[in-house]
Structure formats: structure tokens, C-alpha cells
Chains A and B, each alone.
Chain A
Amino acid sequence: ETGVTQSPTHLIKTRGQQVTLRCSSQSGHNTVSWYQQALGQGPQFIFQYYREEENGRGNFPPRFSGLQFPNYSSELNVNALELDDSALYLCASSLVGGGGYTFGSGTRLTVV
């Protein structure tokens, strides 16, 4: 098992810019989910991808978008960054239907 890897580990962006975060899923997993974790809070569900399509979305605006590739790697894109987007972004892979996630270590995004 290779686990879930995310890049970069840290990132600083300016308000209004765009950012792309990357994730490589655990081998054998066919879904990928993205979460936003603000300091001192629990992870907030952004969306989940299965078979390269978004099949579940949380309460996040359309400027949060994603992609899943045939090799199950994934990207999270955020446009028009706002200061409140500063958070730890976690990628998690799983098998469809349940059984729990394998999480990456996250990307710490700071918007200034």
C-alpha cells in the first residue's frame, strides 16, 4: 500500500489568486474526497469523486472545483481565493460504499 500523498505540503497565496492542490489516492481505492479543516475544527466535506465524476458535494461555492483522473489521482482547484479559505485541505481515498477513508497529511493553504 502506498497510502495517500498530497502536494504541496504548504502554500501561501494572495487573495484573488487561484490554487491547485494535488492528491494521489491509495492503490486500489476508486473514490476520492476533499475536505477543508479550519484550525480547531472538524473536516468539512467539499466533494467526492467516483469514476471521474462528482457524486457528492458539501456546502461550498462553485469556485471550489475538482478533477479525478483515470489513475484515481485528483486535483482540487480554488478560484478567487478569499482570506477565509486559509485552512488545511485534506484528501481522502476509499472504496465506494463505505469502510472508511485513508487520509493524506494535507496541504496547509494560507491566503494573505
Chain B
Amino acid sequence: GEDVEQSLFLSVREGDSSVINCTYTDSSSTYLYWYKQEPGAGLQLLTYIFSNMDMKQDQRLTVLLNKKDKHLSLRIADTQTGDSAIYFCAESIDGGFKTIFGAGTRLFVKA
């Protein structure tokens, strides 16, 4: 089946690291993605990882992929108030012709 699950809320203090977790079910995923959505806006691609990698770092963002456990995480270092948003995990399946999204994790950053 196709399912992507995330915890719904995360609250951190400004300057701390945030870790958002995601599990997925389709072992044929080719790419896994993290998107950010701010109020009233569409989704913005933050980063992605190919399924044969286990880590990717991009400035303050670190993505970890555990393919055996079908677990994906996004770490945001030095979290800022501007990082407050909803973060969506997504997996690309069916040869890239379909991308399935989780319900999103709402990140609150306290000053």
C-alpha cells in the first residue's frame, strides 16, 4: 500500500535543532522529499534524497534515510522563527509518476 505518516506537531525554541520524522510504506520509492508550506501558500521543495543514499546535507538541513525501516528524518539546525511552517514528507513511487504526501508536521518555533 501507499502511506506516509508524520507526527502532527513539533515545538522547539529558537536556536535549537528540530527533527521531523516520517515513515513510509512503499519500498519501491525512488526519491523521498521534504516540502515546506507557509500559510496561504503552495508547497516549496526544501530538499530530496535518492533512495540509494542514506544521508544528505544542505546548509542547515540534514536528511537521514533508513531504507530498512522505511524511516526518513529532516533535521533543521539553529531553528529560526522564520522556520515556523508545515513540513511535508513525500515519496515518489510508480517510476516517478506518482508522489504521495504525508499529512504534514506543524513546526512551532518559540522565541
Residues on A lying within 8 angstroms of B by beta carbon are 4, 33, 35, 41-45, 48, 50, 55-56, 58, 90, 92, 96-106
Interface residues of B in 16-58 (CB under 8 A from A): 30-31, 33, 35, 40-45, 48
A to B CB contacts below 8 Å, 16 in the list: A42-B103, A43-B43, A48-B97, A50-B97, A56-B97, A90-B43, A97-B95, A97-B96, A98-B48, A98-B96, A99-B31, A100-B48, A101-B35, A103-B42, A103-B44, A104-B42
Partner of A98, one of B30, B40, B44: B30
Q: How many residues of B contact A (CB 8 A)?
A: 25
Interface of B with A (CB < 8 Å)? Answer: 4, 30-31, 33, 35, 40-45, 48, 88, 92, 94-104
Task: Give the Cβ gap from A105 to chain B, nearest Cβ, in Å.
Answer: 5
